[in-house]
Chains A and B, each alone.
Chain A
Amino acid sequence: MATNRQAAASSPWRAPVVFAILAVLFVLEGTVRNSMFSGSWNTSLAILNMGLISAITALGVNMQWGYAGLFNVGVVGFLAMGALAPVLIALPPVEGAWEAGAPRLILSLLVGLGVLAAAKMVYTRWRKGWLVALVLLGGFFLFRHLFDPAVTAIEANNPARHGNIGGLGLPVLLSWLVGGLFAAAAAWAIGKVALGLRSDYLAIATLGIGEIIVAVMRNEDWLARGVKNITSIPRPVAYEVNLQRNPDFVAAAQDWGFSAAETSGIWVKLSYMSLFLVVLLAVILLAELALKSPWGRMMRAIRDNETAAEAMGKDVTGRHLQVFILGSAVIGIAGAMMVTLDGLLAPTSYNPLRYTFLIWVMVIVGGSGNNWGAVLGAILIWFLWIKAEVWGPAMIAALTSPMADGPLKAHLLDSSPHMRFIAMGMVLLLVLRFAPRGLVPER
């Protein structure tokens, strides 16, 4: 959403051309082996899979920014919220956790929510600040009284292997939806507070909630083992080892002229890719239909002129809350998909620079307000981000080769991985200034 919205004057061929360039890049990555590309389909597909997840995240952000002009700086938090779902839904139950104190833990969480609701009711009914504070303070001690012993008991339960409440053992695909619900719940809470105020406030509040969700994930061992990580999250697709043991599969691979090991990797990645594509296309379809419906026109009207829309009787804050929740739910789904792909939940990897701001670069570069733009921007930026890890040092090495060996050259070579951040910041600033409508502008 730029204020200097130019008249639509872009070629309808832009999206297909960008798409073709992307396809060429991925094919090069898969086939050509030189200093720039790896020449391995496994690498190429791995980048593409993560790119598709980034694309879904970017779609969620694009709903919030492109449709409504809401600036969400806590993308990392909503991704992490979604990432909890596979752990709590798909992991097999932990033996002894239920006996150790899971009911008490759930009760304490319900009490915690109840206290918040009671405080809200007290405030609406009597409007007395001290009464609310009293309810909250009493509720906090009640909550801790129930919560602390339960946590100690659960974390003491086989801490080397588990120490968490474990999952429900349900299918992992279901957890993707639940991940969306988790993120939506967080978005409701934050949107309720920060929407309807000045536009910067939502940005600051989401920055806060993002950091807090990640902090909770890092420190609450009962939830997802904290920094001890959760491994072996169940997969919705086949395992490489099982494929390699299957004689039919090995025979088929040999017919094609590949080794079984390589083919099994590619097969698994292709299966993931099809799942991700289904989700991506479903989200795009729904988003496009919504955007073309009266609801979408209303959203754009609100975005372009809030005052006028409000004068026409539109509930601006309500609509903003709605689209903020929807967008966050999509981000949550992407978060759940990401841990499913990795098979691993590692809270320390949730870094805002990587998960919030990189997604923003994708949306702005792709073309805010345009779903296809967000998708293409996401895959392109993800590809460049990964390849910059290889290209950056190579470029620095080439640039510094005429320099004499010395501390400066060594320092430059050492710090070349950090060039990615400068490059991404520059890309964001340049696109924002010179092409605010992005690669594939909004129609």
Chain B
Amino acid sequence: MPEALGLHHFLLVGAALFCMGLYCVLTRRNAIGILMGVELVLNAANVNYIAFSRYGVGGVDGQVFSIFVIMLAAAEAAIGLAIVLGIYRRSGSIDVSQMTSLRG
């Protein structure tokens, strides 16, 4: 039976997910929404890693890399959300267009 699914299909899903995350990061003004967009981008990268691990020549290396990406995403979420909470406590808002206190 010929394989109907190939590398391209999964890369297509990854590309679409990446662009959704990009759009989210570009348009959101809520800091938590931006972090969600970053999570989407990291997931898209992971889909590509796993697809290459399955269809490419790298063997299990892609899965190991995706585990590191998941670890970094968790770290990013923890630190990013802690920073967001700190900003909220300080200024009462997490709208990134109002975070201008460092502007010269």
Q: Do A and B come from one complex?
A: no
